[in-house]
Amino acid sequence: MKYTNIDFKIDDVIFHGNIEDNCLFIDWIILYECNYKCSYCFGQDSLSKDKFTHLEKLKYAVDQIFTIDKDRYAFTLTGGEVTYYPYLLDLIDYIFSYKNKNISIYIITNGSKNIDFFNNFFSKYAGYDITFTLSIHFEYVQFDHIFDIIKLANQYNKRIRISIMAHPIMRKEVESFFNDILKLRNNYVFDINLATIMSGESYNILDPRYDEDYLKWIKESTEYINNKVYKNDNLNRITWGPKYYYNLKNGQNNIRIGLDDAIIEEKLNFNNFYCCGGINTIRINHDGTYKSGTCSNYEIIGNIYTDVIDYKKLLNIVKCSLNSCPCTADYAIPKFRYIENAIEYNDKIKNNYLFSVLNSINNKFNILNNDIRIIKYKTNSIIDTLAWWIPFKKQRESFRSKFKVRPDQTRPDQTRPDLIICKEHIQFYNNSKIEKLQPMLHLKNAA
């Protein structure tokens, strides 16, 4: 789904988000603390070992997440500065230990860790769907270090993303770095984006220090990045969460525009839309509390570090009261202009969830039933072995009848227990032998 230049206004929009990708996007703040103290950021707490959450709690949260049945799972691990969490690699290993799940991991970092950290990381996860976004914060960044990380990532065939935080009062530095990074892009493969700084209590208002000329430059530069084609673009694209798009009243669907365009042109104002949170997103805070999205309109549901996740409560509809989405993590949440469309979609997801739960219960029951049959067979085998040592036939038969586990004789399909037990023995050890032994069973029954 490519970016388009279709001209429309927010009043033309009837839907925004994603309802096509059966993906769960997990926006997870691993820790709140950071080694930077950027003037525009909420993460002002200093790093402290006392504030790190124990790894076992995070593992428990991972187990809870995977109880939700989805085609794929897109984790975004962030902070604070997540790379300073001492058990980060252990957490990643545990997530990827779910071999039967389609998993991608996206780590947002300021890139301040030393080059050895990144070398070890790229080496360890060379064959995994995991990568970084390096956020460039001009109040602290060391440009040469960022360039070294880009070059190192390419050595390991890792495609990373450089997110340039367009500081509203450091335009000269922003433009200089942007030009340098474009030159580097000619020889190395990575993605680039320009991110505007947001302000306000919910960080959903464009920083008022921007002037029109600066915003114009950001818009034009973003269009250049999105349309630029590089000959050396030979690394796999980054896998992230569901891609958001617009549907319009005139029937034009699946329209994508650049994020900065959407912010500057006020196309993220979904006030009075109906947001279906929790369907494809879950927000986990640093203390383990979780909810249906980042937005302040969503209430805390529980604590995923200690509680069983309540997916039914995740599925809820809220009426938007903000003038802009506060976080990119919420952009994929389905947002409908009309309440009846939101209810219809939410009910559909709930029905699918119920069917999934019932199917899971049925599968577990079948597994349990099979285990019981195997236990019965093994128990009877032990009884037969013990009975063999009893010298008198009458006593042997009495011993068997007293201790052997017999099927319920009232069920029609279990009126020939010897045959059932024999089949169980064959199925448990070698299912392919049943046809070969079937004639012998007929002879036995005839006798």
pLDDT tens profile 92-131:
999 999 999 999 999 999 999 999 999 999 999 998 999 9
**Angle, CA of 335, 341 and 344, to the nearest 5°:** 115
Rounded distance, CA 25 to CA 23, Å? 6
**pLDDT score for 17:** 95
237: which DSSP letter?
Answer: P
In this predicted structure, the answer to whether residue 357 has a pLDDT above a threshold of 50 is yes
Same domain, 258 and 402: no
Same domain, 312 and 391: no
Residue 47, domain member (yes or no): yes
Which of 145, 166, 164, 158 is CA-nearest to residue 188? 158
Which of 228, 144, 142, 168 is CA-nearest to residue 193? 228
Rounded distance, CA 310 to CA 299, Å? 13
Q: State the average pLDDT over residues 60-80.
A: 96
Residue 284, domain member (yes or no): yes
The count of structural domains within the chain is: 2
Q: Which amino acid is at 302?
A: G
**pLDDT score for 2:** 63
Residue 418, domain member (yes or no): no
Q: Which of 282, 304, 337 is the last residue of a domain?
A: 337
Which of 110, 103, 165, 152 is CA-nearest to residue 133? 110
Rounded distance, CA 429 to CA 313, Å? 44
Q: Give me the domain span that covers residue 374.
A: 351-408
**pLDDT score for 181:** 97
Q: Which of 303, 337, 371 is the last residue of a domain?
A: 337
Contact 219, 166 (CB under 8 A): no
**pLDDT score for 244:** 92
Contact 260, 218 (CB under 8 A): yes
Same domain, 234 and 362: no
3: three-class secondary structure by DSSP = strand
Same domain, 265 and 362: no
Strand pairing class (274-277; 316-319): antiparallel
Q: Which amino acid is at 201?
A: E
Rounded distance, CA 214 to CA 92, Å? 39
Rounded distance, CA 352 to CA 315, Å? 12
**Contacts for 64 with CB less than 8 Å, ≥ 6 apart:** 304, 308, 309
Q: Give 417's pLDDT tier (boundaries 50, 70, 90).
A: very low
Same domain, 152 and 184: yes
Same domain, 331 and 383: no
Tally the residues of the chain. Answer: 447
Query: Whole-structure pTM over 0.75, yes or no?
Result: yes
Same domain, 307 and 214: yes
Residue 417, domain member (yes or no): no
Q: What is the CATH number of the domain that holds 98?
A: 3.20.20.70
